[in-house]
Structure 1
């Protein structure tokens, strides 16, 4: 019996007599491991929240002030709304994109390739699905909070506040969850960290520019409007603007359904690709 145990331990790369490494049952999906991932992220965040928050909040606010005040004096009103109000509601979505896509793309790559953090977490035991969900959920929580900063600035510049704006963090969370998952998926798909430049320039930048953030998409050619409407960020922009300027329930439901579908697809791709990298 001891010989068999020694052989098994040797085959698994463990010293003889060592306890077997705990592993999550295949296909398991439970809340407790996800909560564990979130708790770990919270502990790490408490050590570095000041520089992280500064960068995530100040950058979109500066962008809003530069474009909103600078271009606002030239553009005037769009659709009957002051440009800084129009832009402020759109920059919310941009902030969510940046504070979710980049951590999902870069941070998870560093943890997987250089720090080997996920190897230890999977032995906790945590299943890949729980790991991906927990990581994306944490990123989305931060994006949901950070994304509200430009909206508060716009309110400071005269945008009328409404009770509907309390839904903005929810919209930001769902959108951030989807983009965090997209970043995780792509971080596991790229062959090296240098190839992320293709994603940043070829995917993130177009998402940022063609979403109705700086101008209404109906000013674009027909084909560009069709592309913009496939962009998940566009649906976030419309929902956030809807809380400020008003939107029909049916239209809001369609935009939210598009975001929900985006989350489901991104989750499936992220889990599949991370499983290939970490287990298969």
Structure 2
């Protein structure tokens, strides 16, 4: 037997290693830096068009909604639309292309990165982008006279939390479809109704009671209400429940994204 010192016990790795996540995120940042103009344009122009079309168009017919100028009402509501467009759609198409066509995921997973870290990194990066792009309608609203409260600073983390959930949802859906053409069904039948019935352009109080109840299950509705309360300085206890609903949504979608991505990669 050797009298030398016993070897140090091997460090047990955690389920998710932050170094692996930052490594994958750095790759996304570098790729985004090469085409940031297209990314910013695609993620911000459509929500701003909705804002200008509804805010300035219907704003000529509707003066106030819930005691707020209609342009202010729409500019705060369109934050959720910007988050949806910049996270869910990018996650769906991006993850599908990188997994099925470019085989990027196979290359990444050949390094010391597992599926949990890969999904977490990509979803987190999209959530950060969603938080920043989601603030654009607020800035446009300020240009048209919106007077935000100091609590507007919380809009970015709210948008990031919402973006994390929808980026994970997009990744999960990507792992469920057979063809990239199937995304048209998801866009038309799922995401379009979600942002139309979220209180973005009109209050939900005029809808049938069943739809009002269903809206409480819509994460975008919670995002819209949180953004408005932050912007107008009207935060109260119910907003904690809305944050909890978004956290639950994000956790469930992350779990689904990890599992569906793992199944696809094993196939």
TM-score, normalization by structure 2: 0.93
- TM-superposed CA distance for 1:27, in Å, is 7.8
d(CA) in 2 for partners of 1:26, 1:104: 28
Q: How far is 1:58 from its partner?
A: 2.1
Report what 1:108 is aligned to. Answer: 95
Q: CA deviation at 1:51?
A: 1.4
Write the mapping of 1:55-94 to structure 2, written as runs, cut at 5 A.
55-94=42-81
Measure, in 1, the Cα distance between the counterparts of 2:188 and 2:148: 35
Aligned residues: CA RMSD? 1.4
Unaligned residue ranges in structure 2 (runs of 5+): 1-11
Matched residue of 1:75: which SS?
Answer: coil
1:117 counterpart = 2:117: no
Structure 1 contact 27–127 (Cα < 8 Å) conserved: no
Structure 2 residue aligned with 1:277:
264
Contact 2:164 2:250 in 1 (8 A): yes
**Are residues 102 and 26 of structure 1, via their aligned partners in 2, closer, same or farther at CA, if it must alter by over 3 Å?**
farther
Give the TM-score normalised by structure 1.
0.89
1:138 has 2:140 as partner = no
Q: Distance in 2 between matches of 1:78 and 1:154?
A: 15
Counterparts of 2:259 and 2:231, CA distance in 1: 38
Equivalent residue, structure 2, for 1:11:
none
CA distance in structure 2 between the aligned counterparts of 1:232 and 1:212, rounded to whole angstroms: 11
User: Of 229, 242, 246, which residue of structure 2 is paired with 1:259?
Assistant: 246
Alignment match, 2:3: none
How far 1:62 moved relative to its partner?
A: 1.9
Distance in 1 between residues matched to 2:115 and 2:14, nearest whole Å: 9
What is the CA-CA distance between 1:195 and the residue it aligns to?
1.2
Alignment partners' CA distance in 1, 2:31 and 2:223: 29
Listed as ranges, the matches of 1:147-166 within 5 Å are 147-166=134-153
Deviations 1:33-86 (A, max 9, x none): 000111000010110001111222222112211110111010110011110000
Match of 1:243 in 2: 230
In the alignment, is residue 32 of structure 1 matched against residue 19 of structure 2? yes
> Take 2:167 and 2:25, find their aligned partners in 1: how far apart are those partners?
14
Structure 1 position 240, deviation (Å): 0.2
Q: Is 1:232–1:258's contact at 8 Å kept on the other side of the alignment?
A: yes
Q: 1:184 aligns with which of 148, 167, 171?
A: 171
Counterparts of 2:126 and 2:207 in 1: how far apart (Å)? 32
How many correspondences in the alignment?
A: 256
Partner residue in 1 for 2:37: 50
Q: 1:150 Cα shift?
A: 0.5
Residues of 1 paired with 2:142 and 2:241: CA distance? 27
Q: What is the alpha-carbon distance in structure 1 between the residues aligned to residue 16 and residue 166 of structure 2?
A: 21
Task: Give the CA deviation at 1:245.
Answer: 2.2
Question: What are structure 1's unaligned runs of at least 5 residues?
Answer: 1-24
Runs (4+) of structure 1 moved beyond 6 Å? none
Distance 2:199 2:148 in 1: 21
Give the conservation status (yes or no) of the 8 Å contact 1:28–1:127: no
Residues 212, 237 of structure 1: 8 Å contact kept: yes
